[in-house]
Structures are given as C-alpha cells and as structure tokens.
Chains A and B, each alone.
Chain A
C-alpha cells in the first residue's frame, strides 16, 4: 500500500517529536503529540498513521502508569528501547519501507503489551486504551462511529461508551433542528 507524501511527512514529524519528548521525560506532551496525525488518520484511513498514533499514545500511557512504581533503571531501559524503536520507525518511513514499518509496529506493540501485562494494575491494557482514544478523536473529526471503530479495530459498543464521555457531542454543528420541532415531528409517528 502506498503512502501519500503529506501523510508520510506528518507521521515522520510526529515520531521524531515523540522521540524528543520521550528523551525529555515530557509524558503529557508525548500523549498530545500522538494527536498530530489524527488529520491524516481521518483523511487517509490507512494503517500507517493509525499504528504510529496508537504506539506513541500507548508509550505515554505506559510511562504514566509506571512512573511512580518502577525502579529508575527499569524505566530508563524501557525509555531507551522505545526511543530506538521510534527512530527505527521514522527511518523505515523515510526510506519508503512501508511493509517493514508495519511489521516493526507489530513488534513495538508486542513489547508494550508485554511490559504492560507485567506491571499494570489496570484491567484495560494500554494498547486498547490507545485505540479507543484515537478512534474517539477520529469520530470527533467527522467520521461515523462505525467507520472510526472499523479503522481502529474496535466494536461500536466500546467506542460509543468511550466517546459519550467526551465533549464530542457538544458541538454547534450537531444541533441542526429546533428541539420542539423534533418532538412535534415525532409526535406524528406515535399518534
């Protein structure tokens, strides 16, 4: 599958920024950084931006959950490994090795899942949480619930419950009709 140049640029930029933030220990900014490819995810709807966003968010979430619990040495090892992985992913994209990029994403997800399963008290794994978060963002940007769920490999059930608790529905464009008119029209059906 080919990658549009603009999308490739967005993803590489995001991965490089993520590396810098990881190095600086800026977890909150790292989390936000993963949103920089939401536009690409919404428009292009392929696996590249989706994988990159999920991985970066999952890394930030893992660190967030771990930070107070783990020895500095273990945390540093994870950070070092993830920095190397982000650099590898960025290089693969720059060289146009798209299939290899996806394979490497799979490996990174595996590493995150392994670490998360050993050290997390939470039932919800970070990768799943990352997919929910990104799907909700894509829904917010205009794709349907079904489309967003399909893009991130989720069910509508879990995405509805997650998105409902955000501000996604508190937008002006969502209120099309006057509520009295809505009810009046419905009254006709239920007469």
Chain B
C-alpha cells in the first residue's frame, strides 16, 4: 500500500476538441448542478421552497406581457453595450470604458434635447442627438485608443478612468440643468412638447430600441466575420507582429476599432436618454458597461451568442428583483443565486477544455 511513487487521486489533462453535443451536455450539467446548489442555499438560508423561488424567477421575466417587454428592452440595452465592446475585445484590446462611453453619449443627447428646441424642428433635433451621441462616444473611446496606438499606454486603466470623468461630467450637468433649483435632478426633459423623444412604434414603448439593437447585432456579426476590417481585427488580436508582417497598419486598426466601439456605446446612451428614459442621471447606464464585459466573454465574442448570454444575465437579474418582492428577501439574495449560477457556467468551460483523470484502480488495491 505504501508505494513511494503514489499516483495522485486525479490529475488534469487537456482535452482534444469535443463534439458539440458533449460540450452542451457539460454546460447543461453545470446548469443543473448550479440550480441544485442554489436550491440548497435557498432552503438552508431562507427556509423557502426552492421550486417556488425558481417559479418566481421565471415569472419575474415572463409573468405578464409587460414583463416580457421590459425583459426584451433590458436585453436589448445590455446587448447594445456588449456589441460595442466586442470588436475591441476581439482585437485583445480591453475596452472597460463602455459605461463612460455610453454615459457621454447620453449626455450629448440630453444636451441637444435641452439646448436645441426652439432653434430647430423636432426631426433636426433628433438628427443632431444621433450624430452628437455617436460622436461623443467615439471620442471618449478614441482618446485612450490614440494613446495606446501612439505611446502604447495601457488601455484597460485608461478606459476605466475615463468612466469616472464621464460620471463626474454628467453629475455636473445634472446640477447645471436641474429642475427645480437646487435639487440636482433634471427630471423628464421636454415633458409637454416631447421634442427629441424618439417615436413610439404603435403602442409598444420599447419596440424601436429592440429593432435598432437587432439591426446593430446583425451588422456587427457581418462586420466581424465577413469584412476585411473584421479579418484585420482578428489578425491583430492573434498577433500584432504577424499583422505588421502581412502589412496591416496596426495603429490604424486599433484606433478605428476603438472608435467603432465607442460609437456603438454612444448609440446605447442615445437610446437610453432619447428613447427610454427621457432624462439623464449619473447612474442611467446602470453598470451595463461592466456587465457587457461578462456578456461578451461568456459568448466568446460572438455577437449571436451574445443575445443568449445577455438574455441570461437580464433574466437572472429580473428574477432576483422578483424574489426580493415576492419573498420579502433582500435583492442581494437574488444576486447571490446569480453569482452561483455564473460560477458554474464559467466553471463548465474548464471541463470543456480539460478533463480529470482519476487514478486507475491498480490490481493490488483493496
């Protein structure tokens, strides 16, 4: 029994590529395990019946047609920011500034809505909002990109810090445009004239947003997979030197891609201000710039899979809100469950790439 060269109980080895049904079996298994662990936590900590909690989570997104619309709207907005950061990520350029880029786009849109009425007709205000938001987002991403391309600064830190600058700028303008005086709150912009409000399609408040983001999603998929630009992004992401060797101007690709990234973030800010909220607050993007990082990674930077991953995250967060209301639990409890589920989903990728080999039962083992 006491061999000197004891084989460990198990060891880890890299797997060859698995057929698709096995990878999905592993992912499905992870989800089932996650649900079991969540059920255990729920029962032990709160004494609620986990099945009822799951039903409540499901109802939080699909309980009524209104909830479905809210779900779709939230998925669309999260997807929009996620699509925005993806081209940069594919290039291995970590744009963590989605929050600030969307916020600054929203600020530009709000500025047009507040300053332009009376000077321009409604359609022209909307055109100005669109152009200025997209430009503002692009500039906000372009500054760190320029520094990276020219002086090889770290884009992760730079884009992250630009978020705080954007938040403070918005907080400042909330005081400038406040109503009533001293409140630091803008309130709904142009509530009576509705100037700068995006049109509503029929009786569906959020349909326009959803359609716009769906179009962006398709366009981004085509751009990344079937265009020359998309190919260049992929090459730069794989190896900058290879890209240089084959004659790709790396600096230009970095700046161009980051501008695109920022522009789509700016579009997200435009939709949040012009189409959804009609107001501006420093928290209007609501952390989507950071959640987008996870959406994009989980989907392996594939725009179509991102529909699924952003749906999953919104579904879980809406469910968290629902169980907070339904069981008088704190919203944080829902977030704990979300964390457990994400942990298992991310962990399952490990088992797709690696396998665990257990010690073979040797002949003399009892």
Partners in one complex: no
Give residues in A with beta carbon < 8 Å to B: none
Give residues in B with beta carbon < 8 Å to A: none
